[in-house]
Structure 1
Amino acid sequence: MSLTKIKHMVTFSLHAGKDTPEAEAFLKTSAAELAPIPGVEHFEVFHQVSSKNEFDYGFSMVFADQAAYEAYNQHPVHQKYVAERWLKEVSRFQEIDFKLHEALHS
């Protein structure tokens, strides 16, 4: 992974609960809507298995650089998804955005 790439991750839980038909529908719809947005690379959906984490699911994706990440955040599909799905169906979340640590990966 290039030093300019950004790994965007979000862990979350849903109002619908874990392992429910509604949760599965949310995960499938989210992947179908978000993964095709220009600039999104390596979109993945995760199911939490650790008892040390309070969140049930996770999304991960990679962006080539800060500009691609910002374009994703401003993209109309992402904006609509956040307003119509995320804010209504997600009960809590944590967002993490990382770049490779230059001193260790140069």
Structure 2
Amino acid sequence: MTTDKTGAPTEVTQESDRFSISVDGKKAGFTEFVDHENQRIFPHTEIDDEFGGRGLATILVRGALDATRDAGLRVVPVCSMVAGFIDKNPEYKDIADPVTTEVKRLLSQK
């Protein structure tokens, strides 16, 4: 189990259209995704203000990307948090695809 910067236990879980992170059993944030063909598109990540500064977005995105890799999917980091995480963690660049006009069009239809 991963702990945040305060030492509190965290849990990342996958739902139908998002990964959520909980701290001590309380939901603290999420990153949304849209699966399209062999890609998982990440348009938005959010951590509740009361949990800010604890490193939860990093834990959440790492868990989401690991699960995406395990599922055999590629990542399209539309969300700036996900894109920034990949920039800082080159071990995920091999599964990252660029944000294309087709991806933007797909998201605008959601």
Q: Which structure has the higher relative contact order (CA within 8 Å, separation 6+)?
A: 1
For the pair shown, the structure with the greater C-alpha radius of gyration is 1
> What is the TM-score of this pair, normalised by structure 2?
0.30
